């Protein structure tokens, strides 16, 4: 099977581009931008692998990345960061997965 495997999760056709690290609410997070190449072109998405759960994000039209992090089905917050991986906003927003 071709693709990328991150922490046991296989993503077919994915290419790892870079990663940055940050700590949020005492939990370690690894932010892994991943580029998917498909018939309609490339789409960059992000998986946030944490000590408590995972999240996914997509690049918006203005190039910003927005993600929701999950802990047992509860959102720990909304993470907004730029394409270089710098955190610009962390807001508490509980939500069921």
Q: What per-residue confidence (pLDDT) applies to 32?
A: 52
Average pLDDT of 57-63? 43
Mean pLDDT score of the chain = 42
What's the rounded Cα separation, in Å, for the pair 55 and 31?
9
Q: Report which of residues 88 and 40 the model is more confident about.
A: 40
For residues 93 and 79, the answer to whether their CB atoms sit within 8 Å is: no
What's the rounded Cα separation, in Å, for the pair 63 and 58?
9
Q: What per-residue confidence (pLDDT) applies to 52?
A: 47
Least confident of 26-30, 31-35, 41-45, 72-76: 72-76
Q: What per-residue confidence (pLDDT) applies to 6?
A: 39
């Amino acid at each position: 099977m071709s693709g990328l495997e991150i922490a046991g999760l296989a993503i077919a056709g994915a290419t790892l581009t870079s990663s940055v690290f940050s700590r949020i609410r005492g939990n370690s997070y690894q932010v892994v931008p991943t580029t998917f190449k498909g018939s309609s072109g490339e789409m960059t998405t992000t998986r946030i692998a944490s000590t408590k759960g995972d999240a996914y994000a997509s690049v918006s039209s203005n190039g910003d990345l927005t993600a929701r992090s999950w802990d047992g089905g509860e959102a720990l917050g909304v993470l907004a960061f730029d394409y270089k991986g710098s955190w610009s906003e962390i807001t508490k927003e509980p939500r069921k997965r």
